[in-house]
Structure 1
């Protein structure tokens, strides 16, 4: 799988996006969008050796589309 990163932006030079729901203590998740996958990590623990979840773009979009649905 080729996980070439999308170019960083001036607003987000590291490529990670923190949830807008994050509290002042930073207890939330961060997302990094690559060409062929989406990475998810705990915003409180950014060490390189910490677990990161990886999703295909299709799986990630499916997850996001279900967030607003009520059971």
Structure 2
């Protein structure tokens, strides 16, 4: 992934998303929220903050129907 270091929870969220979605599949914000809430026991605002951080740091990129993970 990108060279920027992430806080431990954001890295855990990235790893969780990577193991939960196919490399070729896009996912919506709502799907990402659901994964993070379920797998990491986060609330919706915390999940939203982490998704935004991952996007801003280049670990997620936007596509027409949602997001994709940046290739590792």
TM-score by length of 2: 0.27
**Of the two structures, which has the highest relative contact order with CA contacts closer than 8 Å and spacing of 6 or more?**
2
Q: Which has the higher strand share?
A: 1
Larger Rg: 1
Q: Which has the higher helix share?
A: 2
